[in-house]
Amino acid sequence: MHPDLPKLLDVQGKDRHLSEVSARRDELAAERAALDAALETARQQIAQAERAATDAAARRDAREAKLEAQRGLQEKRRARLEQERNPRVAAQLMADVEMARSILAQEESDWMRVAEEATQREQAVALATERLEALTAEQAEARESLVGREAEAEAAWSAAKAARDEAAAGLPKPLRTRYDRLHGSRHSEVLVPAVNATCTACYTSIPSSRIGQLQADSILLEGCEMCGAILYLEEVPA
């Protein structure tokens, strides 16, 4: 057996483990992202409610100012009416006061409607804020457990990476470079068993000129002609 074969298989096994712990790390990152996204949505709902409340308050205040101005005018009309001695002018002023009163009544009812809406918008902000607080409290436990699981996954990843790098350091440099390049570019594994003189990754036959070398070394470092996988012979149980 070629001395590099067990080393290569060892690196490959450690890479397999490393990719498993990496997947675990990714899962936890997705879990954290989902918690963050839920909070972000709740924050956006508050911001949206706040904008609507600000707009409603501005409409209410504008109505109120207009109403106040009209009330002032009506007061002046009444004052003039009290002073007026000419019956014809007084009758006209009286008609004006009556007309203004019905307009004012309508304006007051509009103002109450707008003021009610502003109150409801403020309540919506309070509700949205409560929802965010509830969600934050609800997430506390999940986040706490997540911190622990993240720390475990991170430690597992660091250990797997260190073990992998140590194993890879035992390979001759050119072979290590080649392995790493193949590992980065292939979807399947770098070392693939040859069965019945065929690559088990792409099912291309190994040329007869190379079979002798495969049998002698248990490994064909040049790799499969078709897919580039490094081929090896698995130990056949006696």
Q: Could you tell me which stretch among 68-76, 87-95, 210-218, 228-236 binds Zn ion (CB under 5 A)?
A: 228-236
What Å distances lie between residue 213 and 173, 208, 210, CA to CA? 22, 10, 5
195 binds Zn ion (CB under 5 A): no
Nearer to Zn ion, 32 or 178 (CB): 178
38 binds Zn ion (CB under 5 A): no
226 binds Zn ion (CB under 5 A): yes
Which two tokens mark 215? 């049998």
Judged by CB under 5 A, how many residues of this single chain contact Zn ion? 8
| Shortest distance, position 195 Cβ to Zn ion, whole Å | 12
Residue 93 phi, psi (nearest 5): -60, -40
Nearer to Zn ion, 125 or 214 (CB): 214
56 binds Zn ion (CB under 5 A): no
- Find, among 225, 181, 219, the residue nearest to 7 by Cα: 219
The residue to which tokens 């350091």 are assigned:
169
Distance of CA 198 to the CA centre of its chain: 45
| Shortest distance, position 194 Cβ to Zn ion, whole Å | 9
| Shortest distance, position 227 Cβ to Zn ion, whole Å | 3
Binder of Zn ion out of 104, 115, 156, 227 (CB under 5 A): 227
Residue 84, exposed/middle/buried by CB under 10 A (0-12, 13-18, 19+)? middle
Percent helix, percent strand, percent coil in the chain, to nearest 5: 80, 5, 15
224 binds Zn ion (CB under 5 A): yes
Nearer to Zn ion, 53 or 224 (CB): 224
Give CA–CA dist 229/185, Å, rounded: 11
Q: Could you tell me which stretch among 16-24, 82-90, 129-137, 203-211 binds Zn ion (CB under 5 A)?
A: 203-211
199 binds Zn ion (CB under 5 A): yes
Which two tokens mark 165? 């790098």
Which two tokens mark 48? 């949206």
Which two tokens mark 144? 């706490």
Nearer to Zn ion, 70 or 198 (CB): 198
How many Cβ atoms sit within 10 Å of the Cβ of residue 67? 15
Q: Could you tell me which stretch among 9-17, 131-139, 164-172, 196-204 binds Zn ion (CB under 5 A)?
A: 196-204
Q: List contacts with Zn ion (CB under 5 A).
A: 199, 201-202, 204, 224, 226-227, 229
